[in-house]
C-alpha cells in the first residue's frame, strides 16, 4: 500500500494513536497509518469536517460502528477503536500489509481464473461473517480489498450499515463507488446482503478484465448503466461468467445467497487449480501419477499423459497387470502377445516367461560396448523381452548345432577303436544330447 508523508494540516495524534503516514483519502475522510503505545499498527480514518457537522450522519455512524464491532472473521480487518463524540469522529481498524486488489490489477493486469475464484471464495466467506452479524458493507470494491500474505481482507467497515437501512441520499453523504453500487442503492431502497453480492460480482469482474463491468464515465452515466443496462462480461473467463452474471442481476432476489456463492467459488477455484474445466468436480481428478521407474525429466505430458491415463483405466477395467507399451511403439494386441513367437519350449516351461512353474525369467539385453546386460523393465514394474530376442534365439540354435557336431565327432572317433565300443558310443549319442551332457559314455555301460 502506498504511503505519503503527513501534510501540514494533518493531525499528529488522534486519541491514543500517533500518526506516521497518510495511506489515502476517500469520500468520508482521510486514512492514516498510526500506532499505539504498544507498537500495534492501525489504519485510522478521520471523518471529513462537513460530515462531522451532520447530526444524522453522526447518529447513523454511531449505530453502524457499534454493529461493526460484532463482526468476527479472518477475512475482515478488525475494528480496534473509535471515538464517535470527537469534533471529527474517527475509527481505527487493524492494519493489513499488502496491496489492494485495485493496485495489483492496475500494475500487473487481469488475474487468472484460479486466482479470481480463490479470492472470491475467501471474500464470500468474509461477507458471510459480516451478514451473520447483521451488517451490510455497502461499499465493497477493489480498493477496499487488501491482498495480505495470509489472504484477502475486507476493510472500511466503519461505513457499513445495518441490514434494512436505507441509503444516504443527501448531497455529499452518498456512500459507495459508481460502477460497484447495486441498483437498489442508486434508487435509495433498503440494502440487504444481496447488495454486497452485487458489489462482489462487479469486483471479481474487474479482477478478470481490469475494468468495471459497466465501463467508464461520469458518476451520472455510471449510475444510469447500473440501473438500466446489463453488465459487460465479454472478457470474463467462461468458468466464472455465468456465476458473475447471476451476482449482477438487477433484482436482488435473483442473486445467489452468500453461502451458495462461497461454495460455488470454492468449487471453481479447486477445478481451475487442477487445470480442469466444465462439469462438477471429479473425485479422481488431479490424482498423482502411478509410481513408475522414470526420471523426472521423462514424466509424460500432453498427449502422452492422456495416453498413459487411458491405458491405466483400461488395465483397471480388465483386471490385468500387463506391462504398459512404450509411447513410441504401437500397442500389441492381447492375442498376439499371448501367442508364442518362437519354438515351443520343453514341458514344464511357461511359453511367455521361459521359466518353470510359471516363474518369470528376466530378459536381458546388452548395453554399452562391454556387452554388459541389464534387465529391461516396464513402467508397471514387470519385465518384457528386449529388442535382441531374435539374436538370442540364433545363438541358442548355433549352440545346439555345435554341440551335436562335437558329439557326433567324438562318437565317430570312438567307433574307430572297435565294433563293441563303436556300437556303445553310437548308442550313447542320443542319450548324451537328451541329457544335455557332452561325452560318449554318459549313462551307458560297456559290456
Cα 64 from Cα 43, distance rounded (Å): 18
Is 338 within a domain?
no
Q: Are 212 and 180 in contact (CB under 8 A)?
A: yes
Q: C-alpha dihedral over 331, 337, 342, 343, to 10 degrees?
A: -170
Q: How many domains does the chain have?
A: 2
- Pick the closest to residue 255 from 210, 179, 202, 189 (CA basis): 202
Is 97 within a domain?
yes
Residue 231's φ and ψ, nearest 5 degrees, are -70, 145
Is 385 within a domain?
no
- Pick the closest to residue 367 from 388, 382, 384 (CA basis): 388
By three-state DSSP, how is residue 305 classified? helix
User: How far, CA to CA in Å, does 157 sit from each of 20, 34, 72, 75, 360?
Assistant: 22, 18, 12, 12, 72
Is 387 within a domain?
no
Is 290 within a domain?
no
- Pick the closest to residue 316 from 378, 380, 377 (CA basis): 380
Residue-level pLDDT at 305: 55
- State whether 265 and 402 are in the same domain: no
What the block records as the C-alpha cell of 358 is 510359471
- Give residue 447's domain range: 396-447
The last residue of a domain, from among 258, 273, 288: 273
- Pick the closest to residue 154 from 177, 184, 190, 125 (CA basis): 125
Q: Are 43 and 78 in contact (CB under 8 A)?
A: no
Cα 390 from Cα 365, distance rounded (Å): 11
Catalytic residue among 83, 87, 103, 139: 139
Cα 167 from Cα 160, distance rounded (Å): 11
> Average pLDDT of each block of 10 consecutive residues along the chain (447 residues)?
84 95 85 93 91 86 77 80 91 90 94 95 92 87 92 75 43 61 92 95 96 92 94 94 96 95 94 63 32 37 57 56 47 48 49 50 49 48 57 87 88 64 40 38 39
The last residue of a domain, from among 229, 250, 273: 273
- State whether 262 and 406 are in the same domain: no
- State whether 162 and 19 are in the same domain: yes
- State whether 267 and 401 are in the same domain: no
Residue 122 exposed, middle or buried by CB count within 10 Å (0-12, 13-18, 19+): buried
Is 252 within a domain?
yes
Residue-level pLDDT at 245: 96
- State whether 34 and 168 are in the same domain: yes
Cα 317 from Cα 312, distance rounded (Å): 9
Is 347 within a domain?
no
Is 305 within a domain?
no
Determine whether 196 is an active site residue: no
- State whether 167 and 22 are in the same domain: yes
By three-state DSSP, how is residue 180 classified? coil
CATH number of the domain that residue 226 is part of:
1.10.510.10
Residue-level pLDDT at 71: 81
Residue-level pLDDT at 409: 85
User: How far, CA to CA in Å, does 322 sit from each of 37, 252, 333, 336, 362?
Assistant: 72, 59, 11, 13, 15
The last residue of a domain, from among 273, 299, 325: 273
Amino acid at each position: 500500500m502506498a504511503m505519503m508523508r503527513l501534510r501540514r494540516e494533518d493531525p499528529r495524534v488522534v486519541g491514543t494513536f500517533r500518526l506516521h503516514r497518510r495511506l489515502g483519502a476517500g469520500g468520508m475522510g482521510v486514512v492514516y497509518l498510526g500506532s499505539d503505545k504498544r507498537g500495534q499498527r492501525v489504519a485510522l480514518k478521520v471523518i471529513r469536517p462537513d460530515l462531522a457537522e451532520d447530526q444524522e450522519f453522526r447518529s447513523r455512524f454511531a449505530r453502524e460502528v457499534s454493529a461493526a464491532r460484532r463482526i468476527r472473521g479472518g477475512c475482515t480487518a478488525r475494528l480496534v477503536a473509535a471515538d464517535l463524540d470527537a469534533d471529527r469522529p474517527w475509527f481505527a481498524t487493524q492494519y493489513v500489509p499488502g496491496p489492494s486488489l485495485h493496485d495489483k490489477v492496475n500494475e500487473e493486469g487481469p488475474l487468472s481464473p484460479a486466482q479470481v475464484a480463490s479470492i472470491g471464495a475467501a471474500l464470500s466467506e468474509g461477507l458471510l461473517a459480516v451478514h451473520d452479524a447483521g451488517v451490510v458493507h455497502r461499499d465493497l470494491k477493489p480498493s477496499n480489498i487488501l491482498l495480505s500474505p495470509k489472504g484477502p481482507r475486507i476493510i472500511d467497515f466503519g461505513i457499513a450499515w445495518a441490514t434494512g437501512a436505507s441509503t444516504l441520499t443527501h448531497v455529499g453523504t452518498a456512500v459507495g463507488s459508481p460502477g460497484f453500487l447495486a441498483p437498489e442503492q442508486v434508487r435509495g431502497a433498503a440494502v440487504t446482503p444481496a447488495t454486497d453480492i452485487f458489489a462482489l460480482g462487479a469486483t471479481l469482474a474487474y479482477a478478470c478484465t481490469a475494468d468495471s463491468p459497466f465501463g467508464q464515465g461520469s458518476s451520472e452515466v455510471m449510475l444510469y448503466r447500473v440501473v438500466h443496462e446489463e453488465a459487460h462480461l465479454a472478457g470474463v473467463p467462461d468458468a466464472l461468467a455465468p456465476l458473475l452474471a447471476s451476482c449482477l442481476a438487477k433484482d436482488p432476489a435473483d442473486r445467489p445467497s452468500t453461502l451458495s456463492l462461497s461454495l460455488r467459488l470454492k468449487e471453481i477455484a479447486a477445478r481451475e487449480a487442477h487445470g480442469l474445466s466444465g462439469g462438477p468436480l471429479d473425485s479422481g481428478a488431479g490424482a498423482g501419477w502411478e509410481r513408475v521407474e522414470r526420471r523426472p525429466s521423462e514424466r509424460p505430458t500432453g498427449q502422452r499423459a492422456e495416453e498413459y491415463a487411458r491405458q491405466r483405466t483400461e488395465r483397471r477395467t480388465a483386471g490385468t497387470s500387463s506391462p504398459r507399451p512404450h509411447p513410441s511403439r504401437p500397442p500389441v494386441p492381447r492375442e498376439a502377445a499371448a501367442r508364442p513367437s518362437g519354438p515351443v519350449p520343453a514341458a514344464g516351461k511357461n511359453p511367455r516367461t521361459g521359466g518353470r512353474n510359471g516363474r518369470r525369467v528376466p530378459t536381458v539385453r546388452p548395453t554399452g560396448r562391454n556387452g554388459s546386460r541389464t534387465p529391461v523393465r516396464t513402467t508397471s514394474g514387470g519385465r518384457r523381452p528386449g529388442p535382441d530376442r531374435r539374436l538370442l534365439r540364433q545363438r541358442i540354435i548355433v549352440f545346439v548345432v555345435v554341440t551335436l557336431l562335437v558329439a557326433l565327432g567324438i562318437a565317430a572317433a570312438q567307433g574307430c577303436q572297435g565294433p563293441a565300443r563303436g556300437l556303445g558310443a553310437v548308442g550313447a549319442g542320443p542319450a548324451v544330447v537328451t541329457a544335455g551332457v557332452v561325452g560318449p559314455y554318459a549313462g551307458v555301460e560297456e559290456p
